[in-house]
Structure 1
Amino acid sequence: MTEYGRGEGSEPWHPEDPLYGDGWDGQQAPTGRQSPYGGQPQQYPEQPQPQYDNGGWGNGQQAAYGQAQQQYQQQYGEQQQYDGQQQYDQQGYAAQQHQQQYPNQQGQQQYESQQQYGNQQNQQQYGNGGWDSGTHPNVPYTDASDPYGQQNMAYGGEQSDPYGAPDAYPPPEPPARRAAEPEPPKTDWDPGPDQGEHAFFAGDAGDDGDESDDRRGRGDRRGKGGGKEKKRRSGCACLVVLLVFGGGLGGVGYFGYQFYKDRFGSAPDYAGDGTSEMVTVVIPKGAFGSDIGVALKKAGVVKSVDAFVAAQEENSKGKTLQAGAYLLKTQMSAASAVEMMLDPESQNNVLVRPGERNLAVYASIDEQLDLSAGTTQKAAEKKYKSLGLPDWANDNTDIKDPLEGFLYPGTYPAAKGMKPETVLKPMVNQAAKKYEQYGLSSKAKALKLDNPLQVLTVASLIQAEGKTEDDFRKMAEVVYNRLNLANPETYGLLQFDSTFNYLQKESNINISESEINSNKDPYNTYTRKGLPPGPIDNPGDQAIKAALNPTDDGWYYFVATDGVNKTEFAKTHAQFQKLKDKFNESSGS
């Protein structure tokens, strides 16, 4: 490396270098990092540098401009020197004219040629005429103080030609002498017609035998018969397309026909009263006509849901169909299915009536399922915990039946083949749901009761003693007033015949006093104060509502004066005696 740092390294040019600022053919390059082009500095190696011939700049002008540029850079600093090209345009140094003469594309090509030769140790400078000749004489170095000949080159001198060696790359040619770039060699891949369009869509232009030699150059490689192969391929493609479109049209037509048939045609239906095969169909509570039709079609009773819905609407009693289990035949016409479901003999249901005791419900289930007597009761005693009772149920060891009061009144499916617990579970679930809706847990304290089970027990007493719904609220007040241990009439004794009859598993209103007083069972409210251990029946909605909303008229007594439906109430014991005499007269006792 010389004292001016013009070696092969990345050292910047020394400011005292007499050729500082000199470039290729008179072009002034901005100061910056070392360039690979024989020491020429450049700021942006990625940008091509335009070339100017000596027609615009002489050797003396280059040296003068280099000195002026050096002074200018010393005055305004190194930062502005990086923008040398912009300074040329602003100061009018004819660079714009030469740049217009040589477009950017040529400048880029020259730059690429320079970059290829940039690895040479010395950069060739061309003399006064720029690109006047194609020969470049090799001149030996004569000045020991200037071993690179840059002093001589700056004043039009010549420098040794690094391209003169036999193995070297040819020297850069002027734009006018450059040969056109060779076309890229052809490859085996032929994009085919329309710049790579797939042959499937392009067809086969060579089938007529007029295909050029260039196009058929690949034919040898494909082998003979290539045109026939492409023709067969095109024919198969057309066939596939035809099949796809044909299948699509067929599918649209089929579904269109089905849509028309479903909307405007008659619904599919069986004919006649069905086969000899019998099936049981369970219809859930709250099911609509379409829901019933779905259940019947699934069981094989009717052929279509629409046919059943239409038959139900045509039948004047069709809307009266209720939830339950029905014994029906398979493959029945929709009209026959509706008629058979309206027949009570085909209905496989168990009806729980308000105020009905569990023993009566168990007997109905045994009969409906064709089971021996007592089967359902035994199943209830063993599996009551798995049927869905509320948490507050059965909190007393004196309770006779844990399910008493939890078989909610209603109609439930009960067909042959079903298990007793399967029939009982929907009843218990319905009771738990209803009691939660009524809020028995939250209202117990307001009624001065210990728990929801006592509220349910009061409702069962009202259901057992009341005769009509009008009596229920007065009956509820009688219960609450008598439960008050401080009341002056009964002092906490209910004295209800219904509790004693429940204990005896009978319904007898003629009970002797000796029989009552001799029995000390917790369900005997004549000898035990307060409520019985649990409900004595399954109360309905009206009784539950009355238990939650009693009257406040001061009633303590009631008597069924006609012995059947008429109940009269009294506030004192004296009024009660009069009502009792009235009953005795009506009954003839």
Structure 2
Amino acid sequence: MTDERKQHPEEESFKDKILNSLHGSYEQPPREPENNENQENHQFTRFSDRIVGQDNTTEPVQTQTEESVGSRSERNNQKTIEEEATPIEEEVDTYAPDTKNGRRQQRKKEDKIVGKIVLIIVVALLFIGGILGFSVYRYLSSSLQPLDASNEQLVQVEIPSGSSNKEIGEILEKGKIIKSGLVFNYYTKFKNFTGFQAGFYQMAPNMTLDEIGKQLEDGGSATPVEIADNRLTIPEGYDIEQIAKKVAKVTSYSEKEFLDLMKNQDFFKKLKEKYPQLLEGASKAEGVRYRLEGYLYPATYDYYNGNSLEDIVTQMVDKSNAVLIPYLDQIQQKKMTLHEVLTIASLVEKEGVKEGDRKNIAQVFANRVATDMPLQSDISILYALGEHKELVTYDDTAVDSPYNLYLNTGYGPGPFDSPSEEAVQAVLNPTENDYYYFVADLKTGKVYFAKTYEEHLKLVEEYVNK
């Protein structure tokens, strides 16, 4: 072994340690061989000489006895094994921490990769969900609109008896009147359309779902009819002057012609003879502007170019007769006339939108009539003024007119518009309460009720004046 290796034993390689161990076994002073050595000793000596002779720094080793050589070999072998074991243990101890750190780093890398993959998947799902949600929203929005707002061409469809809303929607979709039968089914349920009737209907792609639902409630014809040239829709709450404008847009008749017919007493008498129960109250009313006000039922009517103006009006009155006459017994039980019911219903139609509000408002009017209080409805003032505006001023309430229900008690001359059947039902089946005042929030449309005038003023200040 060289001096350099002795000075730095820690730098010895595993191979060097093996060789040094072998050399170390024979780097002892030469001993004289004993006389009683056998042939094997001489053979071992020669073998040793060959091994030692390979290292120039080591002198030849003399032969030794078999016992000494064997003992030395065992010691050298044990030492060699121990020396071999030591660097292996050191190597394990040395590299174990690095292996653990490597595994930790590898796990961190894998976790980062997995995290990125999960993030990509989540973002992709959110993106796809957003696209699907937007597509569904667009589809629903478009399905709630008329199929073709510019197409007024009427199509005749048959609704069989016993058809469900879903089946009716499928028929209308196949007839290219609406975009989606599925949306129609859910929309009519949401809007509480009920009592759809079987029959033949004439509809157009420019009709709204509300118009279609209303027409289905009103009923069609029992047999197929000639396709009409146009459609005349009278919205709920329209008064006669508004109806005149609508007629002028759809038919060949002007507003003036229509209003002149409304004032024609001979025409009214003809209708009275045809519908005596319906028009009895109107024939006895005093101070009315138009005797047929409230009796032109809001619905959709087929118009043919050959129809006269009287035919158009008669069709509307006939519809009112069909809807209202079934309520005569209930009206008599309330000790009211049909004319009075229509008058209150015409106010309820515009004062409230929701069914619950309408029933409460109808009872407020009933409470006021019972105590001989003026109804004080702004709708009556607007009708007396002949204007349509959002707010009624204090000066407006002083208008000189029998329709001014701020100054006059009772029901007034008659209806102020054409009420719906729902408004009539609210009057006949009001919600019992002890309110005498109500005010509507102009922004939300919500109606607030009060028992006293002081409470009412606070509500007005909070929901109207502000």
> What's the TM-score, normalizing by structure 1?
0.40
Partner residue of 1:499?
Answer: 380
**Contact 1:289-1:312 at 8 Å conserved across structures:** no
The one-character-per-residue Cα deviations of 1:525-580 (angstroms, maximum 9, x if unpaired) are 11111111111111112111110011112121111123562211112112111110
CA distance in 2, matches of 1:437, 1:371: 33
Q: State the superposition RMSD in angstroms.
A: 3.3
2:355: which partner in 1?
A: 469
CA distance in 2, matches of 1:516, 1:427: 32
CA distance in 1: counterparts of 2:175 and 2:255, whole angstroms? 39
The separation in 1 between residues aligned to 2:202 and 2:175, in whole angstroms, is 19
Task: From the superposition, tell whether residues 322 and 504 of structure 1 become closer, same or farther in structure 2 (CA, over 3 Å).
Answer: farther
**Which of 391, 394, 416 is 1:510 aligned to?**
391
- 1:296-445 correspondence to structure 2 within 5 Å: 314-315=174-175, 317=177, 323-324=201-202, 348-382=230-264, 383-387=267-271, 388-389=274-275, 390-394=278-282, 395-439=284-328, 442-445=329-332
- Name the structure 2 match of 1:482: 368
When residues 510 and 281 of structure 1 are mapped into structure 2, their CA distance, relative to the original with a 3 A threshold, is closer
Mark the CA change 1:471 to 1:289 in structure 2 (over 3 Å): closer, same or farther: closer
Distance 1:326 1:563 in 2: 34
Whole-angstrom distance in 1 between the partners of 2:326 and 2:422? 14
Tell me, in whole angstroms, the C-alpha distance in 2 between the residues paired with 1:526 and 1:312. Answer: 48
Select the structure of larger CA radius of gyration: 1
Q: 1:419 to 1:580 in 2, by over 3 A?
A: same
1:174-323 equivalent positions in 2, closer than 5 A: 288=158, 314-315=174-175, 317=177, 323=201
CA contact (8 A) 2:240 2:417 kept: yes
Contact 2:247/2:254, CA 8 A, preserved across alignment: no
Q: Find the residue that maps to 1:546 and give its secondary structure.
A: helix
Q: Is the 8 A contact 1:555 1:571 kept in 2?
A: yes
- Structure 2: 5+ residue stretches without partners: 1-152, 162-170, 185-198, 206-227
Corresponding residue for 2:430?
550
- 1:454-476 deviations in Å (ceiling 9; x for gaps): 11111111112113222110011
Could you report, residue by residue, the CA deviation over 1:370-427 in whole angstroms, capped at 9, with x for unpaired residues? 3333112212322233344424231113111111111112100124342111111111
Question: Hey, what does 1:52 align to over in structure 2?
Answer: none
Counterpart secondary structure, 2:301: strand
Provide closer, same or farther for how the CA distance between residues 563 and 421 of structure 1 changes in structure 2, counting only shifts above 3 A: farther
Other structure's SS at 1:455 match:
helix
Quick one: structure 1 residues 289 and 452, their matched pair in 2 at CA, closer, same or farther if it must change by over 3 Å?
closer
Aligned 1:141-160 pairs, distance under 5 A: none
CA gap of 1:325–1:359, structure 2 versus 1, over 3 A, is farther
Cα distance in structure 2, aligned partners of 1:290 and 1:530: 46
Within 5 A, what are the aligned runs for 1:571-586?
A: 571-586=451-466
What amino acid sits opposite 1:380 in the alignment?
M
**Alpha carbons of 1:576 and 1:419: their partners in 2 closer, same or farther (altered >3 Å)?**
same
What amino acid is the match of 1:512? T
Aligned-partner residue type, residue 452 of structure 1: L
Alignment length (residue pairs) = 260
Partner amino acid, structure 2, of 1:403: L
* Residues 69-113 of structure 1, C-alpha deviations (whole Å, 9 max, x = no match): xxxxxxxxxxxxxxxxxxxxxxxxxxxxxxxxxxxxxxxxxxxxx
Bigger fraction of residues in helix: 2
1:393–1:402 Cα contact (<8 Å) kept = no
CA distance in 1, matches of 2:335, 2:172: 51
- Cα pair distance change 1:514/1:380, threshold 3 Å: closer
Instruction: Give yes or no for contact 2:296–2:316 (8 Å, CA) kept in 1.
Output: yes
Q: Check 1:532–1:323 CA distance in 2 against 1; reply closer, same or farther (3 A cut).
A: farther
Q: Deviations over 1:435-487 (max 9, x none)?
A: 11122xx33454343x22111111111112113222110011010001123xx
1:73 maps to none
Counterpart residue type for residue 158 of structure 2: F
Q: Which letter does structure 2 place at the counterpart of 1:576?
A: H
Q: 1:290 & 1:495 partners in 2: Cα distance? A: 47
Q: Is contact 2:358-2:423 (8 Å) kept?
A: yes
| 8 Å Cα contact 1:503/1:523 also seen in 2 | yes
Q: Is the 8 A contact 1:354 1:538 kept in 2?
A: yes
Residue 457 of structure 1 is matched in structure 2 by: 343
**Structure 1: how far apart are the matches of 2:432 and 2:465?**
30
Mapped to 1, the partners of 2:331 and 2:463 lie a distance apart of 35
Where in structure 1 are there 5+ consecutive unaligned residues?
A: 1-279, 292-310, 328-345, 486-490
Give the aligned residue type for 1:370: S
SS at 1:398 equivalent: coil
In structure 2, the CA distance between the partners of 1:413 and 1:455, relative to structure 1 (3 Å rule), is: same
Tell whether the 8 Å contact from 1:380 to 1:421 is kept in structure 2 after alignment: no
Structure 2 SS opposite 1:323: strand
Q: Which has the higher contact order (CA 8 A, sep 6+)?
A: 2
CA distance in 1, matches of 2:173, 2:353: 38
Q: Tell me how far apart the structure 1 counterparts of residues 300 and 203 of structure 2 sit (CA, whole Å).
A: 9
Mapped contact 2:384–2:403 kept (Cα < 8 A):
yes
For residues 316 and 325 of structure 1, the distance between their equivalents in structure 2, rounded to whole angstroms, comes to: 10
**358 and 574 in structure 1: CA distance in 2 versus 1, 3 angstrom threshold:** same
Asked if the contact 2:381/2:396 (under 8 Å) is kept, the reply is no
Identity of aligned residues (%): 26
**Equivalents in 2 of 1:324, 1:422: separation in Å?**
18
Change (3 A) 1:323 1:411: farther
- Measure the CA separation in 2 of the matches of 1:386 and 1:531: 26
Residue identity matched to 2:236: P
**Structure 2 residue identity aligned to 1:556:** Y
What TM-score do the two structures reach when normalised by structure 2? 0.50
Find the aligned partners of 1:501 and 1:443 in 2 and give their Cα distance.
30
Instruction: Specify the alignment match of 1:305 in structure 2.
Output: none
